Structure 1
Amino acid sequence: MTVKQVTILWVYQARYRIPISKAPPGSWVLIEGVDASITKTATLCNVDYDEDVDVFWPLQFNTLPVVKTTTEPLNPSELPKMVEGLRKISKSYPLAITKVEESREHTILGTVSYTWIPS
Structure 2
Amino acid sequence: MMLPAHLEKALTDVELHFNAVSAALVSGEPQALTTASAVLRQAAIDFSALLQRLTPGDVQHKDLKPRLTQISNGLVLQRESLLRRTALVEMALDTVMPTAADATYAQTGGPYASLGRQTGAFKYLAA
Taking structure 2 as the reference length, the TM-score comes to: 0.21
User: Which has the larger Rg?
Assistant: 2
Please state which structure has a larger fraction of its residues in helix.
2
Please state which structure has a larger fraction of its residues in strand.
1
